[in-house]
Chains A and B, each alone.
Chain A
Amino acid sequence: MQNIALIRLQMNHLVTQARQDIHSLSVMNDSSDNSQTLQRLWDTVSTMHFLSEMLANQAMMAGYYFSTVPAPALPAQTGTAAQPVVPPVTPLPNQTLPPPGERTLTLQELETYDGKNGRPAYVAVGGVVYDVTNNRAWAAATHFGLVAGKDYTAEFASCHAGQESILATLPIVGRLAE
């Protein structure tokens, strides 16, 4: 039941945040600040939706537990055992290059990381292998007709010239063998 208390706490924080944002929207006239506040409000509501879905799930699972095991139900355990709380994940890419020699992939090895059947999705650009498994522009390990597991140095240069910053956001896996 501790989880439910935590979710409730988080929910209350979000309600406070939302009220604060609505208040600032009602008093501010500057439209440039408004978009930022609206974005935060949107995110807050989305997170509240997520939490309420999670609570509903827990309630349903608890109900199931009680109905199938009527006698000595242990309410203290149902919540924690059934649905562990997933903390908000802030994706921070691991941008430190592994020491030379630690992980080097050949083109053949790279090809196996195509994102299929639960495998990670890797791509190589400029001799560095990047992980794009959970990169938002690589849904289903495909990106504008390109599939993961290949060297895309030329493609990157033709479409994202001068946008090296894109690479800086990707976790590095290792180096591509010469």
Chain B
Amino acid sequence: MKKVVLPPESLTNEAIAARLTNAADENLKKGLINKRNLVYLELNGCSGNIISLLNGQNPSFEYTLNSLVDLRYSNSLMAAEGERASEKLMAVLDEDFILAVEGAVALKNNGLYNVIGSLDGQPLTGLQAATILGERASHILAVGACATHGGVSAAKPNPSESVSLQQVLLDREMIKLPGCPVNPDWFLGTLAHLLLYGEPETDNLGRPLMFYSTLIHDRCPRRPFFDRGIFAEKLGDKTCLFKLGCRGPVTRTDCPTRQWNGRVNWPIGDDTPCIGCSQFGFPDAMAPFISFDTTRVVKDE
């Protein structure tokens, strides 16, 4: 049976993180956990997920790089550039590595709408990189809205003909972490679980249950207002934002309890509706993000 952590053991985020990191460090020293190679590919997107990741706390991104994985390639963070960077990418192919991909795969003109580097004087497209690395990776994490389901890159009219990573790698199983951007904890937590205990339990859409199992609506501090039919009419109102178009009732994440930016706040905590950024089909399926014409009664329409 699992050991239950009970008070007076400190339950602050910092204390829990310290216990986890210490346990991981000990296991690393004993050789029970091996550092694995990580390739972090940025394809057709805005690099928002890697920026969000740098905001990670307890554990931080630095901890991830120093103790969790060997980051062998990252478009944004590596020092090498040009052909040298591409060579480093190709050098990983013969080793064991975990592949994390953010951004969609652009298909138009054989992938030329998204060139991530050059190799042997030829442009290296995102499509090529995703296919070559996707076939060899031991585990694949699709990070963010674009990689998991096309997201903003594939929104209408989709000029680059972007698709999700899964549509390029039809036979490969992958863990999907939707979100625009992904919360640093969702990515780092999944990565840590992968290293410590193997693949986490996922739902039928490939999302880890530990982060994506509960509807925002079911954990929303404003739920009593919804149940009593008390609705906000404008941004800034402290009641239920349902009539303004809140997508919390159709979106499954732990935002209400985990929160963002170092667990300081989250959209509904700042009186603005959830736009469903972690729901498949975002942004087209979640539009319009805000509606004022549902509650306002216009005379002589």
User: If the complex has contacts A115-B294, A137-B250, A144-B250, are A89 and B287 also in contact, measured as CB distance less than 8 A?
Assistant: no
Measured CB to CB, the nearest residue on chain A to B223 is: A46
B209-242: which have CB < 8 Å to A? 217-221, 223-230, 238, 242
Nearest CB to that of A116 among chain B residues? B293
Q: Give the CA-CA distance A142 to B246 in the complex, in Å.
A: 10
With a cutoff of 8 Å between Cβ atoms, the chain A residues found around residue B223 in the complex are 43, 46
The tally of CB-CB contacts under 8 A between chains A and B is 80
Among B6, B287, B301, contact of A145 (Cβ-Cβ < 8 Å): B287
Q: B159 at interface (Cβ–Cβ under 8 A)?
A: no
Nearest Cβ on chain B to A91's Cβ, whole angstroms = 8
Q: A29-B4, A50-B224, A145-B284 are in contact. Are A118 and B295 (CB under 8 A)?
A: yes
Instruction: Using C-beta atoms within 8 Å of the partner chain, give the interface range for chain B.
Output: 35 or more
A32 to chain B, nearest CB (A): 13
In the assembled complex, the CB of B121 is this many whole angstroms from the nearest CB of chain A, namely 44
Report the count of interface residues on A (CB-CB < 8 A): 28
A136 CA to B224 CA in the complex, in Å? 13
Distance, CA A29 to CA B220, complexed state (A): 27
B224 near A117: Cβ-Cβ < 8 Å: no
Q: Which B residues lie within 8 Å of A64 (CB)?
A: none
Which residue of chain A has its CB nearest to the CB of B224? Answer: A50
Are B293's CB and A117's CB within 8 A? yes
- A160 at the binding interface (Cβ < 8 Å): no
Q: Which of B1, B217, B227, B286 has its CB near the most chain A CB atoms (within 10 A)?
A: B227
| Sample of 10 A–B contacts (CB below 8 Å) | A47-B224, A89-B229, A115-B294, A118-B294, A140-B246, A140-B291, A142-B287, A142-B288, A145-B284, A145-B287
